[in-house]
Amino acid sequence: MENGRKPGPGDERGAARPRRSKRAADLRGDGGEGDLEPLLVGHCRQAVTLLPRGVLGVTTAIEFLEALPAAHRLGLPDVTHSGPKLFALLVAHGVLAAMPSPRVVPAALGLVAGVSPLLEPRSARQWSLWLGQLREPGSPIAAALRRQTPRCQISLAPTTTAPPLRAAALRADRDRLAAELVRATEELARVREQAEGATARAAAVQEEMSAAAGLRKENREKRLAALRGILNIPDDDPGTFTELVVGLVGSWKEQTARADTAQQGLHRLLADLATAEGELAALREKNWDVQARLDAKEIELGAADAELCLRRSRLFRPDLAEVQEYRAAGAADARRAQQRRTSEGE
């Protein structure tokens, strides 16, 4: 009562709201995504408990149910396939270890469909796995799982044991380990053989190094004796090989300095010779110019002499053509005389 007034029916409707029980929400499938995994784990645990024992396919049915929570965590969608393809899908995603025998697949799926609404037969060979609808809000699959699964199964801690391997998988692991053991044994034998070979090679190298060290010592003594012979040093001289080499290097340096001085003098002589050759070449070029002018004058003189002889031998003035012919002959005689002198001078 407030301010002396008694609340009416309308106020009661506004003030009080009906409360939904958690069990009712669970039955309608309104739980969140975080509630699905413990629900699915508990449902699969309950379904494994309900399976009959000692019938064909029950072991495979148990493995199928135990693999459904992992398939749900992978986010697999709803699928409709034949029985072998359903198992192949779970094997491909790593939630099942190996494919079961084709003989037990229909019986195993029939057992699973009898205890869980997650698997539904669609025909004689087709099955639907409703993992996608399980995650839908208000899903009838989730509601059915909540109705069929006791709370004692949901509240249990999730199992962490891995599904047992099938005999085929165990045989495959055994064969793989045996093959790896054979390879490891062969590798060990090969490594041992390589180690023995390396040890033998190391011993041979050690012997070669010892022989080389003795040979170097002998060669050093021979070089020391030869060096003493070159430098006229008696064999009983107490000087070491290093001292002898130092003395030889000093003598070599002295001789090198003298050779450098002589080489410098030779360079100077070569420079003077090059200068003289240049001057001689200039004189020869000048002489060639003078000689060329002399040769030209000599040719012209020969032509004039021939013309003079022609005019003296004639009473009358000769023709111009005849004069030019005599001049050309005189010039040719002068050139032949020059060529003879040149060849005789060479």
User: Mean pLDDT lowest for which of 103-117, 152-166, 271-285?
Assistant: 152-166
State how many domains the chain has: 3
What's the domain range around 98?
Answer: 19-164
User: What's the pTM?
Assistant: 0.40
Query: pLDDT averaged over the chain?
Result: 80
Whether residues 24 and 153 fall in one domain? yes
Count Cα atoms within 13 angstroms, Cβ side, for 7. 10
* Cα–Cα nearest to 294, from 334, 332, 242: 334
How high is the pLDDT of residue 313? 83
Whether residues 35 and 118 fall in one domain? yes
Q: How confident is the model at residue 186 (pLDDT cuts 50, 70, 90)?
A: very high
Q: Give per-residue pLDDT as tens, 139-150.
A: 888 888 888 888
Q: Give per-residue pLDDT as tens, 21-59.
A: 444 444 333 444 557 888 888 889 888 988 999 899 899
Whether residues 204 and 193 fall in one domain? yes
Whether residues 277 and 152 fall in one domain? no
**Final residue before a domain boundary, out of 180, 209, 238:** 238
Whether residues 52 and 116 fall in one domain? yes
Q: How confident is the model at residue 152 (pLDDT cuts 50, 70, 90)?
A: confident
Whether residues 44 and 119 fall in one domain? yes
Tell me how far apart the alpha carbons of residues 212 and 204 are, in angstroms, rounded to a whole number: 12
Tell me how far apart the alpha carbons of residues 128 and 117 are, in angstroms, rounded to a whole number: 10
**Final residue before a domain boundary, out of 199, 220, 238:** 238
Q: In what order do the strands lie in the sheet with 119-121?
A: 79-82, 126-129, 119-121
How high is the pLDDT of residue 238? 67
On the question of pLDDT at 306 being above 60, the answer is yes
User: Mean pLDDT lowest for which of 18-22, 192-196, 262-266, 303-307?
Assistant: 18-22
User: Which of 151-155, 174-178, 233-237 has the highest mean predicted lDDT (pLDDT)?
Assistant: 174-178
How high is the pLDDT of residue 126? 92
Whether residues 76 and 179 fall in one domain? no
Whether residues 204 and 219 fall in one domain? yes
Q: Is residue 6 part of a domain?
A: no
On the question of pLDDT at 14 being above 60, the answer is no
Q: Is residue 42 part of a domain?
A: yes
Whether residues 37 and 132 fall in one domain? yes
The answer to whether the beta carbons of residues 93 and 40 sit under 8 Å apart is no
How high is the pLDDT of residue 9? 39
How high is the pLDDT of residue 156? 66
Whether residues 160 and 170 fall in one domain? no
**Final residue before a domain boundary, out of 200, 221, 238:** 238
Residues 191-198, mean pLDDT to the nearest whole number: 91
